[in-house]
Chain A
Amino acid sequence: METLKIKSTEDSPRILLDKESNILEISGRSLPEDVNTFYEPALSWIEEYAKNPLDITVFNFKLTYFNTASSKVILDILTQFEEMIEEGHNVLVRWHYLEEDEDMMDAGEEYSEMVDVPFEMVSYLNP
């Protein structure tokens, strides 16, 4: 399966979806002009991936900021994982947040309550 790699910009996150290397990650800041257009390749990639996923799927969110429009798309992605789990696959979401960023931690905890997907909260210190 082809790797999807999108470089980060000032208003959009870096996306790396690499099945071979087992790296599935969205990181950075998310307030693209059109969230649906921006995230469409990632949503399609995950949809394709879900047909034949790895034994254990570990997906990393490492966002520093996302706007309310992006919050809906994140839910869409998580819903895809929920469907994978319903089909018997193993999925874990790692939600990374800057240790002092309580809002980002809360956001992760709220998502974990909204979908039936295991979450692991991972805090990191300012680089």
Chain B
Amino acid sequence: MESGFLEFVYDFYKSMKAHEIKLVYEGRVTHQITKAFIALTEAQMSENEEAASVQRKVFHVMVECLQNISRHADEYESGESLYAGKGIFMVSQTDETWCVTTGNAIFNEKVKDLREMIEQINELNEEDLKDLYVKQMRVGRLSAKGGAGLGFIDIRRKTKRKLEYHFLPITDSVSFFLLTTFIPRIL
């Protein structure tokens, strides 16, 4: 075993505890994985007697975030283990809020459009978000890949908060796309 590995595991454990991370996963997101994660988180939430409305929102956000990775993450293989694979998925929880974070590689040529789409969604008010959702839903009925951004619009509408995102350049052709969603708890 690599020297220092056990120390790393302990540091990793402490770090997870410090950030109150309930679930972290790196790799390919399949439908089986999605089902397992929502079942796990639901079990944790009902054990903690989380408010039903909060449970529903966390559920919504998790499903759409996982779907985003499984459908839109670009392949990126490199020596950097952090980025090799399909994406990272993380759920954390503090006294005040639940937090769902995803990260995945994306080709730089797509960054501009994605950023513009998220910015547009962030600027819209509730009524306009509804109109955009309806419009994208109708478009999506015509093509399998259509309806771009339905998940983002849904997250924005369900949480009533702006989407928090970041792009980190990895190489000349690839960036790492991070999206964090907060769901306030009812105290």
Contact = CB atoms under 8 A, between A and B. Distances in A.
B158 interface: yes
B141 A100 contact: no
Interface of B: 31, 34-35, 39, 52-53, 56, 59-60, 63-64, 67, 130, 134, 137-138, 140-141, 144, 147, 150-151, 154, 158
Closest 4 CB pairs of A and B: A68-B150, A33-B31, A72-B140, A68-B154
Given A65-B59, A67-B63, A11 B35 contact: yes
A71 interface: yes
Contacts, number: 46
Contacts of B67: 67-69
Contacts of A65: 56, 59-60
A72 B147 contact: yes
Given A10-B35, A68-B151, A68-B154, 7 more contacts: A11-B35, A33-B31, A67-B67, A68-B67, A71-B137, A76-B141, A126-B52
A99 to B, nearest CB: 11
A40 interface: no
B57 to A, nearest CB: 8
A75 to B, nearest CB: 6
Contacts of B59: 65
Contact of B64 (A36, A67, A110): A67
B150 A101 contact: no
Given A33-B31, A65-B56, A103-B56, A110 B130 contact: yes
Contacts of B60: 65, 67, 103
A71 B150 contact: yes
A23 interface: no
A10 B59 CA distance: 13
A80 B170 CA distance: 47
A103 B137 contact: no
Contacts of A114: 134
B141 A101 contact: no
Interface string A95-107: 0000011110000
Nearest to B57: A103
Nearest to A79: B141
Contact of B141 (A10, A31, A67, A72): A72
Interface in A94-127: 100-103, 110, 114, 126
A71 B133 CA distance: 10
B130 A31 contact: no
Contacts of B141: 72, 75-76
27 contacts: A10-B35, A11-B31, A11-B35, A31-B63, A36-B144, A65-B56, A65-B59, A67-B64, A67-B67, A68-B64, A68-B67, A68-B147, A68-B150, A68-B154, A69-B67, A71-B150, A72-B137, A72-B140, A72-B147, A72-B150, A75-B137, A75-B138, A75-B141, A101-B56, A103-B56, A110-B130, A126-B52
